[in-house]
Amino acid sequence: MTHVRNPWEIYDRLIEGVPADVRVVDACVGSNWTSVAAESGAGVAYTFHGGVAPAGVRDVAGARLRDVAALVKSWCFEDASLGAAALNAWYATAEKLEGPSLLTGEGSDGFSLVMKQVAAREERPNVCVIGHFPHMEELAAAAHLTVLERRPREGDLPDAACEYVLPEQDFVLMTGTTFTNKTMPRLLELASRATVVVTGPSTPMLPALFDYGVDALAGRIVGDPARALRACATGESFGDAFLKCALVRPGA
């Protein structure tokens, strides 16, 4: 695993991998979801709110995809969500991800990947989930579960507890929005002893993240860019606009 001395290293590596000649076709920053359609494909990300005020207009049609992807480094988290979706418009396409390490459909979500390994343990392992997900009851029944949340619910710990909790974990399931809000580099350092799964539509689907301690990436492939954009703008269901997918680190 690469030790992340510079937390921007992960971001720069992903941004630099986007070709300079690919253009954005359309984009939408919705209240819940963000989508970018480009000449290379389409990507989605959860719209993370907060941070500083937006840097400028978000009409990015015709802009270089790499420039829009660079917004992922913004401290305006809505702009950073746009950058995360732009990265997936390049990386999270069926053509680039296709191969023996790609899982799709049933069982390819992050929860299923963690549950499969937890169930194989003779003793109850320590599992930390960063962000709220469904099925927590099932996971809590099979493991010693800790949930970290920025807005804790009953039984959760605040996200600041990560410094104390993560080094003791066997498995860590973290939302892809940790990439958007810039907490991912530090979380990966703290979870260096654990099996780490990053999950959700904001997950950057790039195997280079395996170099930084990630064991599996569970994200989305957008198959219908027009429907994804419409869903972001209107709040309607994505339906079959995208497909769940996962990349698992060889040997994990």
The domains of the chain are located at: 8-94, 97-223+240-248
Q: Which CATH number fits domain 97-223+240-248: 3.20.20.70, 3.40.50.11590, 1.10.3210.10, 3.40.50.20?
A: 3.40.50.11590
Q: Are strands 144-149 and 157-158 parallel, antiparallel or unpaired?
A: parallel
Q: DSSP code of 45?
A: E
Task: Look at residue 101 in the predicted model and tell me its pLDDT.
Answer: 79
pLDDT in tens, 112-163: 999 999 999 989 999 999 987 877 889 999 999 999 988 888 889 999 999 9
Q: Are 185 and 5 in contact (CB under 8 A)?
A: no
Q: DSSP code of 165?
A: H
Q: Which CATH number fits domain 8-94: 3.30.390.100, 3.20.20.150, 3.90.1150.10, 2.40.50.140?
A: 3.30.390.100
Tokens encoding 230: 């419409």
Q: Are 170 and 147 in contact (CB under 8 A)?
A: no
Q: Are 220 and 88 in contact (CB under 8 A)?
A: yes
> Among residues 39, 19, 38, which one has the least CA distance to residue 28?
38
Spatial CB neighbours of 224, under 8 Å, sequence gap ≥ 6? 240, 241, 242
Count Cα neighbours of 182 within 13 Å in the Cβ-side half-sphere.
Answer: 17
Task: Look at residue 3 in the predicted model and tell me its pLDDT.
Answer: 56
Task: Look at residue 96 in the predicted model and tell me its pLDDT.
Answer: 86
Task: Look at residue 59 in the predicted model and tell me its pLDDT.
Answer: 85
What is the rounded CA–CA span in Å between residue 27 and residue 45?
A: 12
Helical segments of the chain, H only: 8-16, 65-69, 77-91, 94-97, 110-119, 136-142, 162-165, 177-180, 184-190, 225-234
Task: Look at residue 98 in the predicted model and tell me its pLDDT.
Answer: 80
**Residue written as token pair 């997950």:** 203
The ranges of the chain with pLDDT < 50 are none
Task: Look at residue 1 in the predicted model and tell me its pLDDT.
Answer: 55
Task: Look at residue 45 in the predicted model and tell me its pLDDT.
Answer: 95
What is the rounded CA–CA span in Å between residue 23 and residue 20?
A: 8
